[in-house]
Amino acid sequence: MEQNNENRVTAEELMNNANAEFVKLAKDGKIMDVIDTVIKLDRKVLNALTIAAQNPDATDLKTSDGWNFKGRSVMPGEKSIKVIDTKYNTIENEEIVDGKVVKSVKSGDRTFIVNSEFDISQTKVKTQEFADKYDQSIDHATAAKNLSEAQKALEGVLDNYKFSYTPLDGVNGACNTDQRVITINSNLVGKELLAALIEKIGQALNNIVDRGNNFRGIVSSEDRNIRNIENQLVAYMVGKKLGLDVAAPDLSKVQEWHESKINKLRSNIDTAVGNASKITTAFGTHFEKLREATPQNDTKQKKDEQVM
């Protein structure tokens, strides 16, 4: 098995190469190819492109220890895939409180490092029973066919949000982040209802994100456009995972943009990746708990409101 220090490459080199590829693909009108790669690998832009450059067919990556935990082992002679990882330096502090020494540890500066991972195609089953135990992941698209439970799963993504369903004219829903209320058009049914929920939940999550230095000084119309892109990206990413027909955002003008603006778009995509992951993770957790609560011999679990 390849060691982590073989063919030493720095995180900065990987990031620079991936960013150059991102700009090139955007300029070539292939920005949706980038987004589809991001969805397939469930990674942020630079890591997704770094992985794809080394193995275009990769789908599911973990460290060697990660695969061992899943009951699989890396096959001899397999070359690792370099990925960009984050390391936080810890800062230890001591202070006197009421005459006693109190020690504390907090995260310090963030640094980027190179880690080695392997695709599932580079592994083999080590212990079948152990592998089977951890390979029973939820199929999100299948789970989404159970509409009532899918709706509950999505409503559980956000803390302290209320959901209401009422007839609306010309819109699929609304998200009031101040009052923490999401309203969905009750005329929607089936997958259209789930898609509307995903879009508005994504809007709520995107609103929480700190815009950071990248977006300081922009006018309100630009900020609205940025948020609209992020909302559409989240809906598209989660929709693909759940097997829903959600329209892709219109990014046809991106190839005309200046490189600095394209790099800002990368931040938008990364924000969407993080929030889409929050939704799909909560969705999967809901169905995992549902499965655990269902007797193993109950093979006819209720499948109400199946989507045709």
Two tokens, residue 4: 């982590």
Residues 81 and 149 in one domain: no
Q: Which helix (H) or strand (E) holds 230?
A: helix 220-242
**pLDDT tens digit sequence for 268-279:** 899 899 999 999
**What is the per-residue pLDDT for 302?**
47
Residues 284 and 223 in one domain: yes
**pLDDT tens digit sequence for 75-101:** 999 999 999 998 877 777 777 777 777
What residues does 93 pair with on adjacent strands?
Answer: 104
Residues 286 and 243 in one domain: yes
Residues 153 and 281 in one domain: yes
- 202 within a domain of the structure (yes/no): yes
Residues 127 and 161 in one domain: no
**pLDDT tens digit sequence for 224-258:** 677 788 889 999 999 999 999 898 888 888 888 88
**What is the per-residue pLDDT for 131?**
64
Residues 77 and 153 in one domain: no
Question: Given a cut of 90, is residue 146 above it in pLDDT?
Answer: yes
Instruction: Quote the number of domains for the chain.
Output: 2
- 231 within a domain of the structure (yes/no): yes
Domain that holds residue 29: 11-85+118-134
Q: How far apart are the first and last CA of the chain?
A: 47
Three-class HEC string of 124-148:
EECCHHHHHHHCCCCCHHHHCCCHH
Residues 66 and 200 in one domain: no
What gap in Å lies between CA 41 and CA 45, rounded to an integer?
10
Residues 53 and 179 in one domain: no
Question: Given a cut of 70, is residue 182 above it in pLDDT?
Answer: yes
- 276 within a domain of the structure (yes/no): yes
Query: Percent of the chain having pLDDT more than 70?
Result: 84
Cα angle 25, 27, 30 (rounded to 5 degrees) comes to 40
Question: Given a cut of 90, is residue 158 above it in pLDDT?
Answer: yes
Q: Are 173 and 221 in contact (CB under 8 A)?
A: no
**What is the per-residue pLDDT for 18?**
97
Residues 55 and 33 in one domain: yes
Question: Given a cut of 60, is residue 300 above it in pLDDT?
Answer: no
- 107 within a domain of the structure (yes/no): no
**What is the per-residue pLDDT for 97?**
74
Residues 58 and 147 in one domain: no
- 81 within a domain of the structure (yes/no): yes
Q: Which of 74, 105, 134 is the endpoint of a domain?
A: 134
Name the E strands within the chain. Answer: 61-62, 72-74, 81-97, 100-119, 123-125, 162-166, 173-176, 181-185
Predicted structure pTM score:
0.80
Residues 130 and 47 in one domain: yes
Q: Are 173 and 185 in contact (CB under 8 A)?
A: yes
**pLDDT tens digit sequence for 195-230:** 999 999 999 998 876 544 444 444 455 556 777 888
Residues 122 and 174 in one domain: no
